Structure 1
Amino acid sequence: MGGHSHWATIKRHKAAQDAKRGKIFTRLIRELTIAARQGGDPEGNPRLRLAIAKAKDANMPGDTIKKAIQRGTGELPGVTYEEFTLEGYGPGGTALLLEITSDNRNRTVAEIRSLLTKNHGTMAEAGSVAWQFQKKGILVVEKNKVDEDRLLSVALDAGAEDVKVGEKTFEVITGPQEFEAVKKALADAKIETSLAEVTFVPQNYIKLEEKSAEQMLKLMEILDEHDDVQKVHANFDISEEVMEKVAAAG
């Protein structure tokens, strides 16, 4: 199981707690606002359509969604956010790619640099890490929700690139452009997904042992809690055995 799957699982466990602190809503509102810059009609704006779906999944009130979209289209006044990526290295030589939305780039860069330095990481020059990741659509389906052959048939017919088989889940991989079509095909086939997003996927993974794994998971959580960090991507792999040791030690 790769870093993406591990972190996605950890984040799902944290979801309820995060929602109480309002972090999920904060990120979703920023995404809605930024996506709406490309047009306020979700039918003609796939990014906004996905952002609305995520907001509804998080039980965000319709009025909050509407106002976030209106701030993006300029119908309502609001903060102007800038989108950019930051690159770095984590414990064990892992590569980090952070998707950022900020109203103050200099402040955010300084804060992220400080967090990395204090947690066994370093900031990297632009371009030194990004090449290790590819943008892909990921749809995760629990194994007990669908027959493998049926999932393969539906996903591949809709344009998916691959279906990876994990211990408890299937990961449907798509190109960014095919993501919407594959997601719709799965929904039409009544195949439930536990995670659906367009994200950066590492081309190779670094296997971490117990100490580095513990440091990496702590760093990921710290970065993930920063308000300006929309997503954290890293190329680490942790075996189930090491994960159990880390969990027991924690």
Structure 2
Amino acid sequence: MAGHSQFKNIMHRKGGQDAKRAQLFTKLAREITVSAKLGSPDPNANPRLRAAILAARAQSLPKDNIQRAIDKATSGGDAANLEELRYEGYGPGNVAVIVECLTDNRNRTASEVRTAFSKNGGTMGESGSVAFNFERVGLIHYPLKAGEADAVLDAGIEAGADDVQSSEDGHDITCRPDDLNAVSKALEAALGDPEFARLDWKPLVQVPVDADTVPTLMKFLDILDDCDDVQRVAANYEIDDAIMEKLGA
């Protein structure tokens, strides 16, 4: 099992599903608001906003919520205070971790992320300290039902993608960041709406994690994911399937 963000990742969720869903909706709405604020409120003219809306629809965020999030960007208010932050460091097992945040309080967010690292066997680093372990890519994800692997591969090639990987988790199609809007639009014409289309971090190297470290690493990633200001977490871990089966049993 390789892990970073939702790129071939198993999301380890705890209880309180209603609270989790509400938290997810808040994060999706924030991304929509900031995307609309930084660009155009028209998704056809704003690739980032279009990707944010696709991700929100995939998680069943109501249409009214999506529109309210866009409206916040043009009306000022809370949206004016939101800023993007990125933190980097190493987690348990010397796994490289990138944490992307949207926040209205830089000090609060820095404190929460720093505490998550320090209390769970991790170490915060300076900006750029682990980013060299990753490549910035455009990522479009489709569920298995979108089509057979060969059909999705053909669609990806026609759309101008750089790579297509199909597994039991679905189809991951990657492209250069600047090509994300064009490639995602071409894929939509061939395969329909994806589950999400966004900029992401693809590991260039992966760090094997042993059975003793996996529970600590998963707890650490969960704690980061549970922070309200954290939008996305990327990590370059790799866990052997036999270890996952043993832990699952």
Normalising by structure 2, report the TM-score: 0.88
- Structure 2 residue identity aligned to 1:188: A
Confirm whether residue 121 of structure 1 aligns to residue 122 of structure 2: yes
Cα distance in 1 for residues equivalent to 2:229 and 2:187: 32
Equivalent residue, structure 1, for 2:111: 110
- State which drifts further: 106-115 or 225-234: 106-115
**1:2, 1:238 within 8 Å by CA — same for their partners in 2?**
yes
State the AA in 2 paired with 1:83: E
Aligned residues: 247
- Superimposed CA distance per residue, residues 157-203 of structure 1 (whole angstroms, 9 cap, x where no aligned partner): 21111123445644322112222333233332236745543211111
Identical columns (%): 39
Would you say the 8 A contact 2:3–2:10 is kept in 1?
A: no
Q: Give the Å deviation of 1:137.
A: 2.0
Q: Which protein, 1 or 2, shows the higher relative CO under an 8 Å CA cutoff with sep ≥ 6?
A: 2
Q: Is the 8 A contact 1:209 1:238 kept in 2?
A: yes
Whether contact under 8 Å (1:207, 1:236) holds in the other structure is yes
For 2:153, the equivalent position in structure 1 comes to 152
Query: How far is 1:233 from its partner?
Result: 0.4
Query: Is the 1:146–1:191 contact (alpha carbons within 8 Å) kept by the matching residues of 2?
Result: no
Question: In structure 1, what is the Cα distance between the partners aligned to 2:229 and 2:97?
Answer: 15
**Who is 1:183 aligned against?**
184
C-alpha distance in 2, partners of 1:5/1:21? 18
Contact preservation (8 Å) 2:100, 2:230: yes
Q: Name the residue aligned to 1:42.
A: 43
Q: Aligned equivalents of 2:96 and 2:136: distance in 1?
A: 15
* Secondary structure of 2:61's aligned partner: coil
User: Which position in structure 2 is the counterpart of 1:69?
Assistant: 70
Residue 162 of structure 1 corresponds to 163
TM-score by structure 1 length?
0.87
Equivalent positions of 1:133-152 (< 5 A) are: 133-142=134-143, 145-152=146-153
Check conservation: 1:3, 1:234, Cα contact below 8 A: yes
**Deviations 1:206-244 (CA, angstroms, capped at 9, x unpaired):** 011111122111111110010010000001011111111
> Do structure 1's residue 24 and structure 2's residue 17 form an aligned pair?
no
Moved more, 3-12 or 143-152: 3-12
Q: Which runs of 5+ in 2 are unaligned?
A: none
